[in-house]
Amino acid sequence: MEEKCLNIESKVVHGHSMFDPLTGAITTPIYQSATFRHPGLYETTGYDYSRLQNPTREELEKTIASLENGKHGFAFSSGMAAITTLIKLFNPGEHIILSDDLYGGTYRICEEIYKRYGLEFEYVDTSSIDNLKAAIKSNTKGAFIETPTNPMMKVTDIREASKICKESGVLLIIDNTFLTPYFQRPLELGADVVVHSATKYLGGHNDTLCGLAVVNNDELAEEIKLIHKSEGAVVSPFDCYLIIRGIKTLAVRLERHEENAKLVAEFLKNHESVDKIYYTGDTDNPYYDVMKKQSSGFGAMISFTVKKVETVEKVLKSVKLITFAESLGGVESLITYPVVQTHGAIPEEIRNAIGVTDKLLRLSVGIENVNDIISDLNQALI
């Protein structure tokens, strides 16, 4: 059966190749080799050196391209390595718009590293398309948008953002980590680049680091390929294997994640210690309709504010099933305190302005029994 005829539930299970063409192995082999033999002078098997390409990495790259309905996939040693490569597509003096609410590591690398190379960064609430349009200047060349954002779950209309960016020749990059191609495919909505921290839902088991990017444009792909192979921030064959294995269960995991998250969100929404929840699957959420229009699901990320700051420390110390830890997207439920963890690099005044206060907690809802998750939250909140 042709790959394009398959539904995504089948694509994630079988990947790009479905089996190893050399041996027939159903599981993609780990080609743990740094270098490859040449048959003769000016002859190659297609593989020369693993920094340039490796068969295991190639399968992962083709799989993510297939899942996003793109042409060219790239696998990096981490999500930040992928983002770093995309930043390098721009030149000194050029202006890049970013979501005002985004992962602290992205903010840090822009402000503390790449600003010194003459790039100009501006942080905008792109959930308002008018804000995005107003922020575009004569030297604006890129827009990097998380949707939903981390951790406030703001949503940008990708189709409308694409129209505006195309009119101005702005490269639109969408961070699709929270939803994955199972729930949202930004290239189909007009984005130029989609990027993932595959460490999260795509890997799904909190056991490896990986970043992925997908594009359709051949010229853009060549630029990324040059940076990728030259800088060498490539993911190892073994980690590629782990991500490929994780992707196989993406559909069933995300369905359970979301099923649990909807019930957990409802519980938190009605808890006396909780002030407000931020979950795009809540029908009262201001971005619910946009999500319904551009995504097939809402994911399993919930942020919520508690009424008393003292509750934060109590919750983080008292949870038993849920783990107080960085990261998200694994099968285990994780709770994070953004103000000192994921968003510690962002200045306090900016954090407070976007809502990342000392009363905010972020919850990555896992696939455990939902009653156990809710029971754990309840005993920790009381």
Active site residue 182: no
Three-state secondary structure call for residue 227? helix
Please state, in angstroms and as integers, the Cα–Cα distance from residue 2 to each residue in 6, 10, 13, 14, 66, following that order: 7, 12, 15, 12, 12
Q: Which residue bears the tokens 């782990």?
A: 242
Backbone angles phi, psi at 362, to 5 degrees: -120, 130
Pairing label, strands 360-364, 334-336 = antiparallel
Active site residue 103: yes
Catalytic residue, chosen from 57, 101, 103, 192, is 103
Confirm if 124 and 98 have CB atoms less than 8 A apart.
yes
**Which ranges in 114-249 belong to alpha helices (H)?**
129-135, 158-168, 180-183, 218-231, 237-248
Catalytic residue, chosen from 51, 159, 229, 245, is 51
Catalytic residue, chosen from 88, 185, 200, 253, is 200
Catalytic residue, chosen from 100, 175, 239, 282, is 175
Query: Could you tell me how many residues make up the chain?
Result: 382
Active site residue 51: yes
Query: Which string of b and e fits 229-262 if b means at least 16 CB within 10 Å?
Result: eeeebbbbbebbbbbbbbbbbbbebbebbbebbb
Q: Name the residues annotated as catalytic.
A: 51, 103, 175, 200
